[in-house]
Amino acid sequence: MKWITRERPKIDRIACPWLIRKFVDLESEFIYVPFDDVITKAKELEAIPFDIPNVEFTHYNEESTFDYIVKKYEIKDPAIKIIAGIVRGADTDRHQISKESAGLWAISSGLAYNIKDDYELLEQGMILYDALYSWATHLYQQNHLQNSPFEKLLHEVYNKFIKDKKTSGKTPSWVKDLKNIIQDQIDTQFTFDLKKISNELNLNPSYLSREFSKHFEDLNFGEYVRKLRIEKAIILIENSSHTLTEIAYMTGFSDQSHFTRIFKLYTGKNPSSYRKKTKK
C-alpha cells in the first residue's frame, strides 16, 4: 500500500505511518509532498491520502487521524489506546488529555527542527514510537522514582514542602466555581475544554492550567475527575444494586473496560472483586 500526505511531518504524519506499518501493512510506503500536490499525486501514484482535509483518513471532530486508523482497522491493543490519547493531545495542542502529550510534542518538534529530510525524519520517528509503544505496553504504571529510594525520599519531602506552602495562602474564588462546574458534569462524558472553562471563569487559560493542581490535591484535571468518578462508583457499588455496566455509564466512563482499568488503578481491585468483598 502507498500512502501520501503533506511534507514536514511532526505528530500525526509520523505516528500514523508507524501505526500502519506495525498493525496494517508491514511493507507500506509513505510519500511526502507539498500540501497543494497531495490529491494530484495520490491519483497519479495510486496512493492513499491521509491527514489532510476532505479525505477518508483525517481528523473527525476532536479526534486525530491516528484515532481514525485505530477504529478503521479495529486495533484493540491496550497500549495503542494509551498512545492514541497522547498523540491526540500532542497533535491538537490539548495537552491536558494526557500528561505525556506535551513531551511528545516537544520531542517531535525538536526532531523535525534538527532533521530537514522528511524520509530520514520518518525513520527516526519510527524509533521514537517503538519506544513509546514499549513504555505503554510494559512500563505505563511504573514511575521513575520507584527504583531510587533516595530520590523518592527527596521527592516526598519536596512535595510536602510545596503542599504546606500551597495551603498557607487564601484559596482563590475561582476554585470553588470550578469545583461546582466539575461536580455538575461529573456524571457525563465530560471533556475539559480549557479555553471554554477559562472564559467561563474569566481566567487566562495558561494560568488555569498552571494553577489547577495547586488547589485540587496535586492532581491534573483528568486525574481529579477520574478520582471523583471512582469515589462515586465506590458509593454505588456499596449502596446500590446497579450492574457494573450501569455504574460505569452512570459515572461517565465511555465503556466498562475503561472503567475497570481506572477503578483497579485507584483501588487495587477490579469492580467485581470489590463488590464481592463489600457483600462479605
Mean per-residue pLDDT, 201-215: 84
Mean per-residue pLDDT, 140-147: 68
Number of domains in the chain: 2
d(CA 153, CA 145): 9
* Residue whose entry in the numeric block shows the C-alpha cell 488529555: 97
Please provide the average confidence, as pLDDT, over all residues in the chain.
87
Q: Which domain holds residue 90?
A: 2-139
Whether 134 and 10 share a structural domain: yes
Whether 125 and 179 share a structural domain: no
pLDDT at site 159: 66
Mean per-residue pLDDT, 45-69: 96
Whether 107 and 210 share a structural domain: no
Measuring CA to CA, how many Å separate 128 from each of 74, 132, 148, 245?
23, 6, 25, 37
Instruction: Identify the CATH number of the domain in which residue 256 sits.
Output: 1.10.10.60
Of 172, 182, 178, nearest in space to 231 by CA: 182
Mean per-residue pLDDT, 169-190: 75
Domain boundary among 116, 139, 162: 139
Residue 273 dihedral angles phi and psi, to the nearest 5°: -65, -40
Residue 78 counted as domain residue: yes
Whether 258 and 175 share a structural domain: yes
Whether 251 and 210 share a structural domain: yes
144, 150, 153, 157: CA torsion to nearest 10 = -110
Residue 217 or 73, more confident: 73
Give the three-state DSSP class for 187.
coil
Whether 25 and 115 share a structural domain: yes
pLDDT at 137 exceeding the cut of 70? yes
pLDDT at site 169: 60
pLDDT at 106 exceeding the cut of 60? yes
Of 13, 211, 222, 10, nearest in space to 106 by CA: 10
Whether 80 and 205 share a structural domain: no
Whether 178 and 252 share a structural domain: yes
Give the three-state DSSP class for 131.
helix
Determine the straight-line distance between the first and last CA of the chain, rounded to whole angstroms.
Answer: 57
Residue 50 dihedral angles phi and psi, to the nearest 5°: -145, 155
pLDDT at 261 exceeding the cut of 90? no
Whether 255 and 202 share a structural domain: yes
Domain boundary among 92, 121, 139: 139
The tens digit of pLDDT for each residue in 221-230 reads 778 888 888 9
CB 180 within 8 A of CB 228: no
Whether 175 and 133 share a structural domain: no
The H-or-E segment that residue 31 falls in is strand 29-33
Residue 163 counted as domain residue: no
Mean per-residue pLDDT, 10-15: 96
Residue 73 counted as domain residue: yes
pLDDT at site 142: 73
Instruction: Please report, rounded to a whole number, the percentage of residues in the chain having pLDDT higher than 90.
Output: 50
Mean per-residue pLDDT, 4-19: 97
Residue 12 counted as domain residue: yes
The tens digit of pLDDT for each residue in 59-89 reads 999 999 999 999 999 999 999 999 999 999 9
Whether 125 and 187 share a structural domain: no
pLDDT at 167 exceeding the cut of 60? no
Q: Return the ∠ at Cα 109 (arms to 19 and 123), rounded to 5°.
A: 45
d(CA 276, CA 142): 28
pTM exceeds 0.75, yes or no: no
The H-or-E segment that residue 16 falls in is helix 12-23
Residue 153 counted as domain residue: no
Q: In what order do the strands lie in the sheet with 29-33?
A: 29-33, 2-6, 48-49
d(CA 60, CA 67): 9
Mean per-residue pLDDT, 115-124: 96
CB 238 within 8 A of CB 231: no
Which band of pLDDT confidence, cut at 50, 70 and 90, is reported for residue 259? Answer: confident
pLDDT at 213 exceeding the cut of 80? yes
pLDDT at 91 exceeding the cut of 80? yes
Give the three-state DSSP class for 217.
coil
Whether 65 and 104 share a structural domain: yes
